[in-house]
Amino acid sequence: MGILFNHESSLRPEYYLSYKIIQGALAIRRGLKNELWLGCLISGADWSYAPDTVQKIHRMVQLPAGEDFVIATGVAHTVGQFAETAFALVGLNWSDHVRTKADIIQHVRTPLIGDDTRFRQACGWTEERSFRDLIRQLIIDAGGTDLLI
């Protein structure tokens, strides 16, 4: 069995935070809007790229005996870091465009960070995609290749 932490892709619906940030950065860069409204910027998560997670699942099920594994990156990043990185990748300063609003999720939660040590040892996996690479790929997947700096 696998316990999967956040795994992002361009297939996320528009109400997902990662989608909202990527699409907001692209729309602002294209001049279609001026600001992006978010909730709590200091809440964090262990974010990874969904296709990488699928590769990990594939490796896990190839093992000769079934075991329980955590599928994660082992690193947490805040919502603010996600926005800052997305905006920087399209040549914008996030603080010029991101605004917070009290009626959008404001609770600070302790980020859930996965420990995938057992998985890495059993499957020989080393995380290949950095947080920045994840966000870059989400921008590409969302059709923003022409906006990357």
Q: What's 2-144's CATH class?
A: alpha beta
Amino acid at 92: L
The model's pLDDT over 74-115, given as tens digits with 9 standing for 90+, comes to: 899 999 999 999 999 999 999 999 999 877 765 666 778 999
| Residue ranges covered by each domain of the chain | 2-144
Cβ density class 23-62: b for 16+ within 10 Å, e for less: bbbbebbeeeeeebebebbebbbbbbbbebbeebeebbee
The whole model's pTM is what?
A: 0.91
Distance CA 108, CA 114 (A): 18
Is the dihedral angle over the CA atoms 80, 4, 128, 112 positive or is it negative?
positive
- What local confidence, expressed as pLDDT, does residue 107 receive? 63
Q: Which two tokens stand for residue 116?
A: 């995938």
The pLDDT of residue 36: 97
What pLDDT digit, counting tens, does each position of 2-52 carry? 889 889 988 888 889 999 999 999 999 999 999 999 998 988 899 999 999
